[in-house]
Amino acid sequence: MTIKDKPFGLDIPDVLEQLTLEEKVSLLSGKDFWHTASIPRLGVPSIRLSDGPNGLRGTAFYDSTPAACLPCGTALGATFDVDLVRHAGQLLAAEARAKGVHVVLGPTINIQRGPLGGRGFESFSEDPVLSGLLAGHYCKGLEENGIIATPKHFVCNDQEHERKAVNCIVTERALREIYLLPFQLAISLARPRAIMTSYNKVNGRHVAESPDLIQGVLRDEWKWEGLVMSDWFGTYSTSSGVNGGVDLEMPGPGRWRGQALIHAVNSNKVKMSTVDDRVRAVLTAVAHAQQSGVPEDGAEKQLDRPQDRTLLRDLASSSAVLLKNDDSILPLDCSQRVAIIGPNAKIATYCGGGSAYLNAYRAVTPFEGITAASNAQVDFAQGVYAHQFLPLLGDHLRTPEGRHGFLIRTYNEPASIPDRRMLEQRVLHNSNLFFIDYEHPELEATWYAEVEGTFEPEENGIYDFGLCVQGTAELFIDGQSVVRNVEDQRAGSSFLGNGTIEETGSTTLQAGRSYSITIQWGCSKTSKLRKPSTVDFGKGGLRFGGCKRLDPIRAIQEAVKLASKSRQVILFAGLSGEWETEGQDRTSMNLPPFTDELISKVLDANSNTVIVTQSGTPISMPWIYKAKAVLHAWYGGNETGHGIADVLYGKVNPCAKLPLTFPRELRHNPTYLNNRSEGGRILYGEDVYVGYRYYDTMGVKPLFAFGHGLSYTTFAISELALQRSGDVLSVSCRLANVGPVAGAEVIQVYISPEFTPLVKRPHKELKAFAKKYLGSGEAVALDVEVDLVRATSFWEEKEARWCSQAGSYKIMVGTSSDKVVLEKSVRVARTVTWTGL
């Protein structure tokens, strides 16, 4: 069936014939931030889109409906488990139905070229095959339940620095073999019904205006017939965008279409047939959404089913990678007293920042998870803080009436106007307020808000308070100004790069006393700060935080003292959504200030301390030679703390593998000299040598290799056999669990030419993988199928085609890119060239 046929109930040819030009154009932009336009007279409903990729926000950043939050993309990548990821997609489909969503904006399948990409945590892997296969099954979980999946961002949105305009200069070969391949595999597997374009340029042209990529590759070569939408505010012209192949400009109302597009059609800059093609794609998506049973403009509900909590906990534990376990320190004994130390212990680092951020149903901290799993006393020492911004204050406030949270009131007049009229009042708990989609029928272009709550400190001391704003704000404690962020504002990374840095102030507070916290805020139009951007995220934002000031030297000493007298110690450290977020890249692989010193000194005091790290992308570990046990837990979603506890206490045997190479130093990474925009361009100078392809080819030993991950049991791999049937190569081996407990192993199949190829090729490339759970003493014959033509192909630039060159290839089976256990050769008798999926 093609998109020209009559799918489901909507007669697309008939509707298309009856539409006026004005109506056609209206369908090519959203009607608001999250919905497409409708044509009621012809029975064309509006459909709802929502972020993805790790959960369904619904239709609001501000005061959004709570949602299920999956572990971040790299955590899902670490599972190497296509079935589990498909179940994750099915959960997202159920969440979409609960929130009236027809189109999920995910998965993110860009490639982590290097460790510093601010949004790297959203994607699955540095490897295109792992990324594409997992993305395909993620999309299947959505699509088989009637919800449209939207793989993004097509293509090369692999860093955040100047992402709206940066020109990614990449060879055609690298573009095909590394960056387009995940989309190619996902489309081949699942036929997702939508694709989102990226903000950036590729080789001189914005992707959202690129007929070569959208029409040439997606539609003509791959024969894909779905809906192409822009990223939010990711269109840059009228005629070029429509002619380039973008069907739907988001969000709405459109900036580049509307009357401008009508004028372009009437001026013969855009053909009517081109407009019809774009409208047909939108109508086809709408028709499919109609059949999903999700109503138009449905109410947003919370799901939060027991089975969903179980799956989320399974995902969290199944994604945790055991990096080291010398002397079998892990698993710990839940009947023995345990000391918990560290900045990530009592906070829930459950997701990254930016559009991936969700208001979760719950967010279980590691401390809560360990406390719930332990049958003995749990001690705690903070050690250091790891926040970039002061911790959110909202959950620590009470309303004047004593309710948990704070009051927020909105007005059209500033606080200086006597007896100003309040538009509305809400009680909120989250003090990171992004008003990007806030609506009120009486709201004027310039408007204001007031926050009111009471704060009762638990300890005497100096307390720091902070304000990040897109707009202006001032924070008062008992009527005295403590922080003012109004004049001489400094640009920062807050609010997707549209806000200020955090301005701070301090005051001395007494334990047990109640203090009044008031904040006067003005929308973005009240600020003189203007940042050059192609994106206007609109109305403004307010983030307020605070905590007791900590002396890191003294706090580290207290942590060391606790560790030295404790038999079991767990230290939680890492990054968070403040450090890894949309809109900015990291500047280093370092952990937050004083963290490495804390870890090192605690390890000196107790060498059996278990280190649990959290981040979405690689971090440096200068203390690694001291540590006996290290578990990397990513951002684990709603059930983060429970998932970690399950692994630490042995309820779950760790079975995850690193989907990213962890380099020893940043300068060892192949993107070290080309990791940000310079003069408006970024050179993908590593070409196809991304991640382990570079480390293995150059003989550079990483800290932890791609595919690395330990277990509480031991596996043996033997008896490699290759059997060929046409172009299908069956790679089989015997996998045995020779250890004491049940567990899972991931068999990874790599390939490498044994001759001198037409072009230089990486030392090895992942082509297939399989995960198998075995009981203690159990053994199975494991078969992995490989399409030999595709697995041996490279992109032949001169001829613009894939080429499988005749010759002998080494088939390598192992458990990581640097741990190949078995090898055999297979011969490709003749050279084959091909295009398409």
CATH number of the structural domain spanning residue 368? 3.40.50.1700
Question: Could you say which DSSP state residue 584 is in?
Answer: B
How far apart, in whole angstroms, are the C-alpha atoms of residue 33 and residue 105?
13
Q: Are residues 441 and 532 in the same domain?
A: yes
Q: For residue 596, how far is the Cα from the chain centroid?
A: 25
Has residue 830 been placed in a domain?
yes
Nearest one of 768, 784, 781 to 723, comparing CA atoms: 784
Are the CB atoms for 102 and 58 separated by under 8 Å?
Answer: no
Has residue 681 been placed in a domain?
yes
Return the active site residues. 231
Q: Are residues 399 and 526 in the same domain?
A: yes
User: What are the pLDDT digits (tens) for 623-662?
Assistant: 999 999 999 999 999 999 999 999 999 999 999 999 999 9
Q: In percent, how much of the chain has pLDDT > 70?
A: 98
Nearest one of 30, 32, 25 to 437, comparing CA atoms: 32
Has residue 521 been placed in a domain?
yes
User: What are the pLDDT digits (tens) for 358-405?
Assistant: 999 999 999 999 999 999 999 999 999 999 999 999 999 999 999 999
Question: What's the pLDDT score for residue 497?
Answer: 81
CATH of the domain at 441: 2.60.120.260
How far apart, in whole angstroms, are the C-alpha atoms of residue 357 and residue 355?
5
The two three-digit tokens of residue 3, written as one number: 């998109």
Q: Are residues 731 and 667 in the same domain?
A: no
Q: Are residues 731 and 825 in the same domain?
A: yes
Has residue 641 been placed in a domain?
yes
CA of 40: how far to CAs of 23, 43, 296, in Å? 11, 5, 12
Q: Are residues 824 and 754 in the same domain?
A: yes
Q: Are residues 542 and 435 in the same domain?
A: yes
CA of 139: how far to CAs of 87, 187, 190, 664, in Å? 10, 9, 6, 34
Of 514, 548, 582, the last residue of a domain is 548
Task: Tell me the sheet residues that pair with 452.
Answer: 407, 518
Identify the domain containing residue 741 by its residue range: 715-834
Has residue 503 been placed in a domain?
yes
pTM: 0.96
Q: Are residues 522 and 393 in the same domain?
A: yes
Q: Are residues 407 and 497 in the same domain?
A: yes
3-state secondary structure of 94: helix
Question: What's the pLDDT score for residue 1?
Answer: 32
3-state secondary structure of 357: coil
Are the CB atoms for 141 and 83 separated by under 8 Å?
Answer: no
Cβ-in-10-Å burial (0-12, 13-18, 19+) of 829 comes to exposed
Q: Are residues 444 and 520 in the same domain?
A: yes
Q: Are residues 377 and 400 in the same domain?
A: no
CA of 45: how far to CAs of 29, 42, 462, in Å? 14, 9, 56
Has residue 669 been placed in a domain?
yes
Has residue 456 been placed in a domain?
yes
Q: Are residues 676 and 743 in the same domain?
A: no
Has residue 648 been placed in a domain?
yes
Residues of the chain with pLDDT below 70 are: 1-8, 532-538
553 backbone dihedrals φ, ψ, rounded to 5°: -65, -50
User: What are the pLDDT digits (tens) for 675-729?
Assistant: 999 999 999 999 999 999 999 999 999 999 999 999 999 999 999 999 999 999 9
The domain total for the chain is 3
